[in-house]
Amino acid sequence: MSLLQRRLTSRDLNELVASAPLEVAVMDDEQRESLASRFRAVPTTEQRRLDSWIVERAGRASDPFSWSPSTARRILGNSALRRTREARELRGAVRDEVADQLLRAVRGYARPGSLAHWLAGVSHPVLGLITVEACDWATQTLECVDGLERSWRVATSDAYYDVPGGRTTLRARRDLVIDTDGGRVIVRLRPGQPGKSAGPGLRSDLVAETLANPEGRAPRRYLGLWPEAGLALGVDGDLENLRSGARDLVRAVVVQRRAALARRETLDTSSLVA
């Protein structure tokens, strides 16, 4: 398993894109079913959602998701980039996106728990902070791809794949798609700096992205960018990385299952003592 590491410069990013292998793996129906059977072998009473963050935590539980300026900035920032790629116009584009979200809530189209629903309930100072965070995200993204020689586009959404009969949804975080003659290169951005488990996280994204592709074709390369650390990591879309990513995903659900059983045993013991 090869994990590529480079400095996050225009030269290095162009090299990572240009050197991506042309031969990529394709997951056929037999391989999909094999992976699905492994998930089905780990029973669950509720729908599981797996992504790179869970894999990087080795399946350990984390705090429940909640909206905040830092969790909303990616969605709003990427939406602003779909409106414009001019740095001087980004603040206005973010404001327009926030306004559209608020309008959706006013018209009753926002479901509880959605970004629009949350934005409708925050104060004006918080809305200002959200706008600043989203502008920073969009600006940082533009700085990362400044000088990129290939055309790129903002991903319309993350990639999702529902495992047949496994009550499991896999999610691949993706921010940018770089189109090349030999196939796509996927880019995701993360704050902070990469940890020791960044490689498994990227490989799990690779698996979900490949499964979500209608043809089961892997991207040429999956890149993770950490602008604050000035680092770029990448994994190739080969069979070895897909197998490794699949193992990490299954390992995460096994850890989750064991933790659920331990909690149940604790509750049963507590009820007996009471």
Return d(Cα 229, Cα 102) in angstroms, integer.
34
User: What's the number of CA atoms in the CB half-sphere (13 Å) around residue 163?
Assistant: 28
Q: pLDDT band for 271, please (50, 70, 90 cuts).
A: low
Q: Is the pLDDT of residue 52 over 80?
A: yes
Which residues have a Cβ under 8 Å from the Cβ of 242 and sit 6 or more positions away?
25, 27, 203, 206, 207, 210, 218
Q: Which domains does the chain have, with CATH numbers?
A: 4-60+149-269 (3.90.320), 69-145 (no CATH)
| pLDDT, tens only, 20-30 | 999 999 999 99
Q: pLDDT band for 225, please (50, 70, 90 cuts).
A: very high
For residues 126-139, average pLDDT: 97
User: CB–CB of 158/180 below 8 Å?
Assistant: no
Q: What is the pLDDT of residue 16?
A: 97
Nearest to 165 by CA among 37, 260, 48: 37
Q: Is the pLDDT of residue 136 over 60?
A: yes
Q: Is the pLDDT of residue 33 over 60?
A: yes
| pLDDT, tens only, 75-113 | 999 999 999 999 999 999 999 999 999 999 999 999 999
What percent of the chain has pLDDT above 90?
Answer: 87
Global pTM reads 0.93
Q: What is the pLDDT of residue 269?
A: 66
Return d(Cα 104, Cα 96) in angstroms, integer.
12
